[in-house]
Amino acid sequence: MSKLEERIEIANPQQPHCATVLVLDISGSMSGEKIAALNDGLKTFKDEVSKDELAAKRVDLAVVTFGLEVSVTHDF
């Protein structure tokens, strides 16, 4: 088994999964109300996925941010 295979654990491997990548602009142009709206949207997304039992089991999430550079903030 490779290191990548060892690292990745799928919560319910018998069920279909939905790979979801959030690509978030955190550049300077997002200051103020824009970044607040982004943060509100992320909270809503998390709350909605968490309260839906099926979605909570099937959504595999990664987060990529970009501004001055691109960064994988949260891997699957």
CA-to-CA separations, 50 to 9, 43, 55, in angstroms, rounded? 19, 10, 7
| pLDDT beyond 60 at 55 | yes
DSSP per position, 15-70: S--EEEEEEEE-SGGGTTHHHHHHHHHHHHHHHHHHH-HHHHHHEEEEEEEESSSE
6-28 pLDDT per residue, tens: 455 555 567 788 999 999 999 99
Question: How is the beta sheet containing 59-66 ordered, strand by strand?
Answer: 18-25, 59-66, 70-74
Q: Which residues pair with 59 in a beta bridge?
A: 18
For 22-50, the pLDDT digits (tens) are 999 999 999 999 999 999 999 999 999 99
Band of the pLDDT at 2, cuts 50, 70, 90? very low
